[in-house]
Amino acid sequence: MRRFLLVAAVLVAVAAVFIASSLPPRHLALADPAPDQMIPGVIHVHSKRSDGRGTSDEIAEAAARAGLKFVVITDHGDGTRPADPPEYLHGVLCLDAVEISTSGGHYIALDMSTSPYPLGGEARDVVDDVKRLGGFGIVAHPDSPKDDLRWRDWDASFDAIEIVNLDTAWRRRAADTSWRQRLDLAARLLAYPVRPAESIAALVQPSTIWDRWAALAKRRHLVTLPGADAHARLGWRAGDAAAADVSAPLPSYLASFQTMSVHLRTERALTGEAGVDARMIIRAIRAGHAYSAIDGAASPPSLDFTASNAHGTVRIGDELSAGGPLTLHVRSNAPPGYRTTLWNGATQVGDHHEQDVSVEVPEGEGVYRAEIRAASPLQDLPWIISNPIYVRVPAEAPVAPGPVTPPSAAVALFDGSPKGWTVEHDATSLGAVEIAETGTTRQPALRWRFGLASGAPEGQFVALIAELPHALTTTSDRVAFTIRAERPMRISVQLRTEHDRWQRSVYVDTFNRDNTIMFDDLLPAGPTATDKLPLADVRSLLFVVDTTNTKPGTSGRIWITGPTLQR
């Protein structure tokens, strides 16, 4: 018995020493000699409305306690719910945005008008729709280790990207199964009640998307933002918060908000009037007048980053015309041992330990950003990440969009009669096709009526189908058509072989729009037997209304004229 007690005491002592020795460094409270006048806030927060734990009131209260001035709440949705107007709660400006699930990852849309149809499907289409609806889109958790959370469409023209995401930070640590990482993670969990923000901050590692970001930012403005991805809910089931049966309020909203923040440079101080301030906050986010900070390591942060040359001086997020040597200047309140690194794209151009850093770089184009990394034992922690300053050589003339070679041959698929056109639908939906006239020239059109069955989305669809003469598609490389609908929609154009379908979705407006869909732009609709569309096996062309972008219970009419195979 005595021996048992001794062993137990030794084990407890070892555990205590382990926890004590692996406690994350205590948060450094910084004197802020020169306040940088930036507005601190947080983006990417989930409330009760989707899979978060708290109400917007509780979220705002936590944000106020963390010293933040605004919160962008991003509940999961499809863009069809009208956004709540901005409002001040507990002195914190609450903005209502939406996180949309696409087949290529999650996309946050803010400042967007209500979508007339559910947004979803391919990432490139959702990115286009958000843009058309006037919204600003942020790629969420692009480098998540979880397959369906990771961003996959790097050609889409998204506006911004998360360079820190606390959900990703946690998942990346958990995905590493080496015993060292396991032990480290266990220590962080044990340390959480003692030093919550420090424990979460210590999980953050440098983003893995910088090379991709550098390649894109060379050509266009691409804003970088931190995403808290705060749910205040940790699920017990396989780490999937949304599907969890049991959950803990971990990490709390307060802990998340004390871990990380985004700092915005607005044109002037906030006024206290929600509508006016929301416009200023959104303009600053859109412009990339922002830097991110890991407050769990040290706070409050202060950063001023400028670039100067013969044409003048600009600050974070802005653009400068190339002209003569360039001086980059960073002034911060970085604690001793912290390291300020300047980057041009993915290339390092300076590395310093001072709070006041000047670096001269030769004339030429560049995308410069400042990053301050914490000191040991957090040496990889990106304490501050600035948006870039873009130095560009003014373009002589705008580059025209890539030319689509005009068609040299064409086969009409519609001769004014419905012959060869049929409608298919699931057992509960309805559809029909007839001939009508459309447009000012009273052209004959295929008028296609659809009625998706109501209820939960369970594969309802209505398709207008043209059987294609054998091997016709092997002599074509695209299909062209003119289309309009009673209300704005997104439908799918597909080629079908005996077993598989390939698709590209198109936006349909209430007036006639010409569309050309290149066959090599089609992607598999579900699993397909081959990676590449086998054109010789294609039997039919389909126009499909389904629940990807149309709500169950919707009915309407669509007019199609001049469907033509071309090459």
Are residues 171 and 239 in contact, defined by beta-carbon separation less than 8 angstroms?
A: yes
Q: Which of 251, 530, 229, 260 is nearest to 385 (CA)?
A: 260
Choices 196-204, 223-231, 242-250, 418-426 (CB under 5 A): range interacting with Zn ion: 223-231
Residue nearest to Zn ion (CB): 106
Residue 106 or 447 with smaller CB distance to Zn ion: 106
53 touches Zn ion (CB under 5 A):
no
Element (H, E) at 173: helix 166-175
Residue 253 or 421 with smaller CB distance to Zn ion: 253
Dist CA 79 CA 99 (whole Å): 8
Dist CA 561 CA 386 (whole Å): 50
Please give the structure tokens belonging to residue 498.
């005996």
Q: Smallest distance from the beta carbon of 149 to Zn ion, in angstroms?
A: 6
Q: Smallest distance from the beta carbon of 58 to Zn ion, in angstroms?
A: 17
Give CA angle at 416 (414, 421), nearest 5°: 50
Using CB under 5 A as the binding criterion, the count of chain residues that bind Zn ion stands at 4
Q: Smallest distance from the beta carbon of 226 to Zn ion, in angstroms?
A: 13
- Binding to Zn ion (CB under 5 A) within 293-332 occurs at none
Does the CA dihedral 502-507-510-514 come out positive or negative?
negative
Q: Smallest distance from the beta carbon of 262 to Zn ion, in angstroms?
A: 15
Element (H, E) at 430: strand 430-438
- Binding to Zn ion (CB under 5 A) within 192-221 occurs at none
Q: Smallest distance from the beta carbon of 79 to Zn ion, in angstroms?
A: 15
Residue 138 or 525 with smaller CB distance to Zn ion: 138
Number of Cβ within 10 Å of residue 366's Cβ equals 23
Amino acid of residue 156: A
Residue 106 or 265 with smaller CB distance to Zn ion: 106
In angstroms, the Cα distances linking 460 to 119, 421, 455, 556 are 17, 20, 10, 15
Query: Given candidates 138, 140, 413, 464, which one binds Zn ion under the rule CB under 5 A?
Result: 140
Q: Which of 192, 170, 197, 169 is nearest to 254 (CA)?
A: 197
Q: Which x/- pattern over 91-130 shows residues binding Zn ion (rule: CB under 5 A)?
A: --------x------x------------------------
Q: Smallest distance from the beta carbon of 292 to Zn ion, in angstroms?
A: 16
Residue 100 or 214 with smaller CB distance to Zn ion: 100
Q: Smallest distance from the beta carbon of 144 to Zn ion, in angstroms?
A: 8
Q: Which of 352, 553, 310, 543 is nearest to 448 (CA)?
A: 543
Residue 69 or 106 with smaller CB distance to Zn ion: 106
Dist CA 315 CA 265 (whole Å): 10
Residue 159 or 371 with smaller CB distance to Zn ion: 159
Q: Smallest distance from the beta carbon of 231 to Zn ion, in angstroms?
A: 7
Please give the structure tokens belonging to residue 565.
């195979």
Q: Smallest distance from the beta carbon of 547 to Zn ion, in angstroms?
A: 21
Q: Which residues contact 186 (CB under 8 A, 6 or more apart)?
A: none
In angstroms, the Cα distances linking 160 to 35, 108, 516 are 27, 9, 28
SS3 437: strand
Q: Smallest distance from the beta carbon of 68 to Zn ion, in angstroms?
A: 18
Number of Cβ within 10 Å of residue 498's Cβ equals 8
Choices 227-235, 402-410, 512-520, 557-565 (CB under 5 A): range interacting with Zn ion: 227-235
Residue 99 or 153 with smaller CB distance to Zn ion: 99
Residue 106 or 373 with smaller CB distance to Zn ion: 106
Structure-derived torsion over alpha carbons of residues 285, 289, 295, 299, reported in degrees to the nearest 10: -140
Q: Which of 193, 139, 127 is nearest to 165 (CA)?
A: 139
Q: Smallest distance from the beta carbon of 97 to Zn ion, in angstroms?
A: 11
Q: Which residues contact 376 (CB under 8 A, 6 or more apart)?
A: 337
Residue 49 or 449 with smaller CB distance to Zn ion: 49
Amino acid of residue 443: Q
Choices 135-143, 218-226, 354-362, 368-376 (CB under 5 A): range interacting with Zn ion: 135-143
Residue 98 or 326 with smaller CB distance to Zn ion: 98
- Binding to Zn ion (CB under 5 A) within 339-358 occurs at none
Residue 118 or 300 with smaller CB distance to Zn ion: 118
SS3 47: coil
Q: Smallest distance from the beta carbon of 494 to Zn ion, in angstroms?
A: 28
Choices 222-230, 396-404, 436-444, 462-470 (CB under 5 A): range interacting with Zn ion: 222-230
- Binding to Zn ion (CB under 5 A) within 228-247 occurs at 229
**Residues near Zn ion (CB under 5 A):** 99, 106, 140, 229
